[in-house]
Amino acid sequence: MNTSNRIALVTGATRGIGLETVRQLARAGVHTLLAGRDRARAVEASLDLQAQGLPVEAIALDVDAGASIREAAAEVRRRHGRLDSLVNNAGILIDDAALEPSQQSLETWRATFETNLFAVVEVTRAFLPLLQAAPSARIVNVSSSLASLALHVDPSSPIYGIKLPAYNASKSALNAFTVHLAWELRETAIKVNAIHPGAVKTDMNPGAQMDVVDGARSSVAMALLDDDGPTGTFTHLGEPLPW
Protein backbone atom coordinates (compact mmCIF):
# COMPACT_ATOMS: atom_id res chain seq x y z
CA MET A 1 0.00 0.00 0.00
CA ASN A 2 1.14 3.54 -0.80
CA THR A 3 1.30 5.16 2.65
CA SER A 4 2.72 8.57 1.77
CA ASN A 5 -0.66 10.32 1.58
CA ARG A 6 -2.53 8.39 4.24
CA ILE A 7 -3.88 9.88 7.45
CA ALA A 8 -4.39 7.66 10.49
CA LEU A 9 -5.77 8.24 13.99
CA VAL A 10 -4.93 6.07 16.99
CA THR A 11 -6.95 6.39 20.20
CA GLY A 12 -5.40 5.89 23.63
CA ALA A 13 -2.04 6.67 22.08
CA THR A 14 -0.04 8.49 24.75
CA ARG A 15 1.59 5.29 26.01
CA GLY A 16 1.96 1.54 25.51
CA ILE A 17 0.66 -0.20 22.41
CA GLY A 18 -1.11 2.91 21.20
CA LEU A 19 2.03 5.04 21.25
CA GLU A 20 4.03 2.31 19.52
CA THR A 21 1.30 1.96 16.89
CA VAL A 22 1.62 5.68 16.16
CA ARG A 23 5.40 5.35 15.90
CA GLN A 24 5.23 2.43 13.46
CA LEU A 25 2.57 4.03 11.28
CA ALA A 26 4.54 7.26 11.13
CA ARG A 27 7.72 5.38 10.27
CA ALA A 28 5.79 3.85 7.37
CA GLY A 29 5.15 7.37 6.09
CA VAL A 30 1.60 7.78 7.38
CA HIS A 31 0.60 11.17 8.79
CA THR A 32 -0.57 9.94 12.17
CA LEU A 33 -2.81 11.64 14.70
CA LEU A 34 -1.80 10.74 18.25
CA ALA A 35 -5.01 10.93 20.25
CA GLY A 36 -5.23 11.09 24.02
CA ARG A 37 -7.68 12.34 26.62
CA ASP A 38 -5.01 14.61 28.11
CA ARG A 39 -4.03 17.16 25.45
CA ALA A 40 -0.78 18.07 27.23
CA ARG A 41 0.37 14.44 27.30
CA ALA A 42 -0.63 13.96 23.67
CA VAL A 43 1.33 17.06 22.66
CA GLU A 44 4.37 15.94 24.67
CA ALA A 45 4.34 12.48 23.06
CA SER A 46 3.85 13.88 19.57
CA LEU A 47 6.67 16.41 19.97
CA ASP A 48 9.02 13.59 20.97
CA LEU A 49 8.13 11.67 17.80
CA GLN A 50 8.35 14.81 15.67
CA ALA A 51 11.87 15.32 17.02
CA GLN A 52 12.67 11.92 15.50
CA GLY A 53 11.50 13.23 12.13
CA LEU A 54 8.16 11.43 12.17
CA PRO A 55 4.92 12.89 10.74
CA VAL A 56 2.85 12.93 13.94
CA GLU A 57 0.41 15.47 15.32
CA ALA A 58 -1.47 15.54 18.59
CA ILE A 59 -5.23 15.61 19.01
CA ALA A 60 -7.29 15.68 22.19
CA LEU A 61 -9.80 12.83 22.26
CA ASP A 62 -11.42 11.43 25.39
CA VAL A 63 -13.25 8.35 24.13
CA ASP A 64 -15.55 8.39 27.16
CA ALA A 65 -16.82 11.92 26.45
CA GLY A 66 -19.21 12.50 23.56
CA ALA A 67 -18.37 16.20 23.27
CA SER A 68 -14.65 15.42 23.01
CA ILE A 69 -15.31 12.83 20.30
CA ARG A 70 -17.40 15.26 18.27
CA GLU A 71 -14.83 18.03 18.65
CA ALA A 72 -12.02 15.70 17.54
CA ALA A 73 -13.94 14.58 14.46
CA ALA A 74 -14.66 18.21 13.57
CA GLU A 75 -10.99 19.06 14.03
CA VAL A 76 -9.87 16.25 11.73
CA ARG A 77 -12.43 17.40 9.16
CA ARG A 78 -11.08 20.97 9.31
CA ARG A 79 -7.44 19.92 9.13
CA HIS A 80 -7.59 17.04 6.68
CA GLY A 81 -11.08 16.48 5.25
CA ARG A 82 -10.80 12.70 5.52
CA LEU A 83 -9.38 9.81 7.55
CA ASP A 84 -7.74 6.75 5.98
CA SER A 85 -7.22 4.58 9.08
CA LEU A 86 -8.90 4.54 12.47
CA VAL A 87 -7.29 2.39 15.16
CA ASN A 88 -9.63 1.97 18.12
CA ASN A 89 -6.90 1.19 20.62
CA ALA A 90 -8.13 2.79 23.86
CA GLY A 91 -9.34 0.31 26.44
CA ILE A 92 -9.39 -0.55 30.13
CA LEU A 93 -9.07 -3.66 32.28
CA ILE A 94 -10.39 -3.07 35.80
CA ASP A 95 -11.68 -6.52 36.84
CA ASP A 96 -10.40 -7.66 40.22
CA ALA A 97 -8.52 -10.87 39.42
CA ALA A 98 -9.01 -12.05 43.02
CA LEU A 99 -12.79 -12.19 42.60
CA GLU A 100 -14.95 -14.84 40.97
CA PRO A 101 -16.91 -13.82 37.85
CA SER A 102 -20.15 -13.45 39.81
CA GLN A 103 -18.42 -11.23 42.38
CA GLN A 104 -17.27 -8.49 40.01
CA SER A 105 -19.17 -5.30 40.78
CA LEU A 106 -21.80 -3.90 38.44
CA GLU A 107 -19.81 -0.68 38.39
CA THR A 108 -16.86 -2.62 36.96
CA TRP A 109 -19.07 -4.11 34.26
CA ARG A 110 -20.56 -0.76 33.32
CA ALA A 111 -17.28 1.17 33.27
CA THR A 112 -15.59 -1.55 31.21
CA PHE A 113 -18.32 -1.69 28.59
CA GLU A 114 -18.48 2.11 28.47
CA THR A 115 -14.85 2.34 27.35
CA ASN A 116 -14.24 -0.95 25.56
CA LEU A 117 -17.48 -1.11 23.57
CA PHE A 118 -19.73 1.94 23.70
CA ALA A 119 -16.85 4.38 23.24
CA VAL A 120 -15.61 2.44 20.21
CA VAL A 121 -19.10 2.56 18.70
CA GLU A 122 -19.37 6.30 19.32
CA VAL A 123 -15.89 7.09 18.01
CA THR A 124 -16.45 4.98 14.91
CA ARG A 125 -19.83 6.58 14.21
CA ALA A 126 -18.31 10.07 14.57
CA PHE A 127 -15.42 9.37 12.20
CA LEU A 128 -17.26 7.20 9.68
CA PRO A 129 -18.11 10.11 7.33
CA LEU A 130 -14.40 11.00 7.23
CA LEU A 131 -13.48 7.37 6.56
CA GLN A 132 -16.06 7.26 3.79
CA ALA A 133 -14.42 10.35 2.28
CA ALA A 134 -11.14 8.41 1.90
CA PRO A 135 -10.44 6.22 -1.16
CA SER A 136 -10.01 2.98 0.85
CA ALA A 137 -10.23 3.34 4.59
CA ARG A 138 -9.43 0.87 7.35
CA ILE A 139 -10.96 0.43 10.81
CA VAL A 140 -8.97 -1.61 13.34
CA ASN A 141 -10.57 -2.63 16.62
CA VAL A 142 -8.02 -3.72 19.22
CA SER A 143 -9.57 -6.77 20.84
CA SER A 144 -7.99 -9.65 22.76
CA SER A 145 -7.72 -13.43 22.62
CA LEU A 146 -9.69 -13.23 25.87
CA ALA A 147 -12.69 -12.31 23.72
CA SER A 148 -12.77 -15.80 22.23
CA LEU A 149 -15.69 -17.85 23.54
CA ALA A 150 -14.29 -20.92 21.78
CA LEU A 151 -11.04 -20.68 23.74
CA HIS A 152 -12.82 -19.98 27.03
CA VAL A 153 -14.75 -23.24 26.89
CA ASP A 154 -11.73 -25.32 25.84
CA PRO A 155 -9.94 -26.73 28.93
CA SER A 156 -6.78 -27.16 26.86
CA SER A 157 -6.59 -23.51 25.77
CA PRO A 158 -4.05 -21.14 27.35
CA ILE A 159 -6.79 -18.71 28.41
CA TYR A 160 -9.18 -21.28 29.94
CA GLY A 161 -8.51 -20.11 33.49
CA ILE A 162 -8.29 -16.38 32.79
CA LYS A 163 -11.79 -15.32 33.75
CA LEU A 164 -11.91 -11.52 33.81
CA PRO A 165 -15.58 -11.38 32.91
CA ALA A 166 -16.24 -7.70 32.31
CA TYR A 167 -13.10 -7.23 30.20
CA ASN A 168 -13.49 -10.52 28.33
CA ALA A 169 -17.17 -9.97 27.55
CA SER A 170 -16.57 -6.38 26.46
CA LYS A 171 -14.02 -7.59 23.92
CA SER A 172 -16.40 -10.36 22.75
CA ALA A 173 -18.99 -7.65 22.17
CA LEU A 174 -16.38 -5.55 20.35
CA ASN A 175 -15.74 -8.50 18.04
CA ALA A 176 -19.48 -8.74 17.37
CA PHE A 177 -19.58 -5.02 16.51
CA THR A 178 -16.63 -5.58 14.15
CA VAL A 179 -18.50 -8.31 12.30
CA HIS A 180 -21.67 -6.25 12.01
CA LEU A 181 -19.86 -3.12 10.81
CA ALA A 182 -17.85 -5.11 8.26
CA TRP A 183 -21.12 -6.52 6.93
CA GLU A 184 -22.64 -3.03 6.69
CA LEU A 185 -19.62 -1.77 4.74
CA ARG A 186 -19.12 -4.91 2.66
CA GLU A 187 -19.90 -3.17 -0.65
CA THR A 188 -17.51 -0.29 0.06
CA ALA A 189 -13.72 0.04 0.05
CA ILE A 190 -13.65 0.24 3.86
CA LYS A 191 -12.30 -2.80 5.67
CA VAL A 192 -13.07 -3.49 9.34
CA ASN A 193 -11.07 -5.99 11.37
CA ALA A 194 -10.40 -6.94 14.99
CA ILE A 195 -6.94 -7.90 16.21
CA HIS A 196 -5.33 -9.45 19.26
CA PRO A 197 -2.06 -7.61 19.95
CA GLY A 198 -0.64 -10.43 22.06
CA ALA A 199 0.23 -10.63 25.74
CA VAL A 200 2.18 -7.38 25.74
CA LYS A 201 4.16 -5.93 28.63
CA THR A 202 2.27 -2.70 29.40
CA ASP A 203 0.84 -0.88 32.41
CA MET A 204 -2.29 -3.01 31.94
CA ASN A 205 -0.34 -6.27 31.83
CA PRO A 206 3.07 -5.79 33.51
CA GLY A 207 3.78 -9.51 33.83
CA ALA A 208 3.54 -10.23 30.10
CA GLN A 209 6.56 -11.19 28.01
CA MET A 210 5.87 -9.72 24.55
CA ASP A 211 7.57 -6.43 23.77
CA VAL A 212 5.36 -3.49 22.86
CA VAL A 213 7.06 -3.24 19.46
CA ASP A 214 5.68 -6.64 18.53
CA GLY A 215 2.35 -5.88 20.19
CA ALA A 216 1.70 -3.00 17.79
CA ARG A 217 2.42 -4.97 14.62
CA SER A 218 -1.07 -6.46 14.20
CA SER A 219 -2.76 -3.06 14.43
CA VAL A 220 -0.32 -1.51 11.98
CA ALA A 221 -0.70 -4.34 9.46
CA MET A 222 -4.48 -4.05 9.46
CA ALA A 223 -4.37 -0.25 9.32
CA LEU A 224 -2.28 -0.54 6.14
CA LEU A 225 -4.11 -3.51 4.64
CA ASP A 226 -4.04 -3.76 0.84
CA ASP A 227 -7.27 -3.44 -1.11
CA ASP A 228 -7.42 -7.21 -1.64
CA GLY A 229 -7.13 -7.86 2.09
CA PRO A 230 -9.85 -9.35 4.28
CA THR A 231 -12.63 -7.70 6.26
CA GLY A 232 -14.61 -8.91 9.25
CA THR A 233 -11.73 -10.96 10.67
CA PHE A 234 -10.20 -11.59 14.11
CA THR A 235 -6.46 -12.22 13.89
CA HIS A 236 -3.09 -12.04 15.61
CA LEU A 237 -0.07 -11.27 13.41
CA GLY A 238 -2.11 -12.33 10.40
CA GLU A 239 -3.21 -15.66 11.85
CA PRO A 240 -6.97 -16.21 12.43
CA LEU A 241 -8.26 -16.60 15.97
CA PRO A 242 -11.44 -18.48 16.97
CA TRP A 243 -14.41 -16.31 17.79
Question: What is the full per-residue pLDDT of the chain (243 aa) written as tens digits?
Answer: 667 699 999 999 999 999 999 999 999 999 999 999 999 999 999 999 999 999 999 999 999 999 999 999 999 999 999 999 999 999 999 999 999 999 999 999 999 999 999 999 999 999 999 999 999 999 999 999 999 999 999 999 999 999 999 999 999 999 999 999 999 999 999 999 999 998 775 666 666 677 889 999 999 999 999 999 999 999 999 999 999
Residues 37-47: tens digit of each pLDDT: 999 999 999 99
The answer to whether the CB of 234 falls within 8 A of the CB of 197 is no
Stated pTM of the model: 0.95
| DSSP structure class, residue 211 | -
The DSSP result for 173-191, as a single string, is: HHHHHHHHHHHHTTTSS-E
Query: What whole-number distance in Å separates Cα of residue 6 and Cα of residue 104?
Result: 42
Residues 166-184: tens digit of each pLDDT: 999 999 999 999 999 999 9
User: In terms of DSSP bridges, do strands 85-88 and 239-240 run parallel, antiparallel, or are they unpaired?
Assistant: unpaired
Residue numbers annotated as active site: 167, 171
Among candidate residues 7, 233, 62, 90, the one with its CA nearest the CA of residue 242: 233
What are the structural domains, with CATH classification, of the chain?
Answer: 7-240 (3.40.50.720)
